[in-house]
Amino acid sequence: MRILVTGGAGYLGSVLCKVLLEKGYQVTVLDNFIFGQNSLMDCCSYENLEVIRGDCRDENVVTKAIKDKDTIIPLAAIVGAPLCDKDKTAAVSTNFEAIRLICRLASSNQRILFPVTNSGYGIGEKGKFCTEDSPLKPITLYGETKVKAEQVVLDRGNAITFRLATVFGVSPRMRMDLLVNDFVYRAMTDRAAVLFEGHFKRNYIHIRDVTKVFLHGIENFDSMKNKPYNVGLENANLSKVELCEVIKKILPKFIYLEAPIGEDPDKRDYIVSNARVLATGFKPEWSLERGIRELIKCYTIVRKFGYANV
């Protein structure tokens, strides 16, 4: 199988592409390397890897990149509310218009597996799990662009979309600004964190389980296609306070306090059911605790907070 991965040198892509190559797939990466990352260096020895340096919004570049591909995995995105707010034009053109371009240029028999964010649920009903049938009420530009892009992909058909929980874990193109990754870093370096609106809940998933669900989707495409799937840990619908409690069990010197004033600019607050993807036979392997221990090893190596999108 010939697979195109846009944004393949990013946080998720640099883990996914290595696994796809190890499985023997022919992988083409299209990336503009905007962060100057060298996260695919370990993949260059694979003869079944092709790298295209280019922009996923350039029609000529995309036309050549998707030619003769069986599967397209569009990972290229302006990820996260802060980065989207910093450059709104790039957010819309990359997260939405580039996906619409791929859907227009791809033939109907080319498969698309597209990651979005479960932050599209916005603020859920208290005590009620968000399912794939729950209304989408994004509260950030990032969420809005991903929700609109998902609809274009599903309307086009011959596709699967994955509504990812907040991802954590180690990657060659590391991101230390993701919530779990950030809190573990603070627990190791500052040994303290101040929480704003610590009762807000969200769901979590390890980056290698995200890679696993893409493989699962490739291998079970016909039975899964044309539906969205929540992808997260069933036992990790946690508030920030509860997350810190888990970290403290592994790093006992960690102290966390809830700020009496101030607010978190990220207002999402929901719990998620992942029953649909679990019913297809997918099963996550990485617990939150296992991921925290992995991050501790990472931050024993990396001491400076320099791996982030903003």
Give me the chain's average pLDDT, please: 95
Contact 273, 127 (CB under 8 A): no
Q: pLDDT value at position 80?
A: 87
Q: What is the pLDDT of residues 66-109, one digit of tens each?
A: 999 999 999 999 998 889 999 999 999 999 999 999 999 999 99
Q: pLDDT band for position 264 (50/70/90)? A: confident
Confidence of residue 310 (pLDDT cuts 50, 70, 90): low
Q: Which two tokens stand for residue 308?
A: 């982030």
Domain ranges in the chain are 2-168+203-231, 179-201+235-301
Find out whether 202 and 232 touch, Cβ atoms under 8 Å. no
* CA separation for the pair 187, 198 (Å, rounded): 16
Domain 179-201+235-301, CATH homologous superfamily name and number: UDP-galactose 4-epimerase, domain 1 (3.90.25.10)
Pick the closest to residue 181 from 173, 14, 17 (CA basis): 173
Contact 79, 178 (CB under 8 A): no
Contact 28, 4 (CB under 8 A): yes
Count the residues in the chain. Answer: 310
Residue 265: predicted pLDDT: 72
pTM above 0.85, yes or no: yes
Q: CA 135 to CA 29: how far, in whole Å?
A: 34
Whole-number percent of the chain with pLDDT over 90: 90
The yes or no reply on domain 2-168+203-231 and CATH 3.40.50.720 is: yes
User: Per-residue pLDDT for 262 more than 90?
Assistant: no
194, 186 in Cβ contact below 8 A?
Answer: no
Buried b (16+ CB within 10 A) or exposed e, 198-211: bebbbbbbbbbbbb
* Domains 2-168+203-231 and 179-201+235-301 alike in fold: no
Task: Render the burial of 123-152: b for 16+ CB within 10 Å, e for the rest.
Answer: ebeeeebbebebebebbbbbbbbbbbbbbb
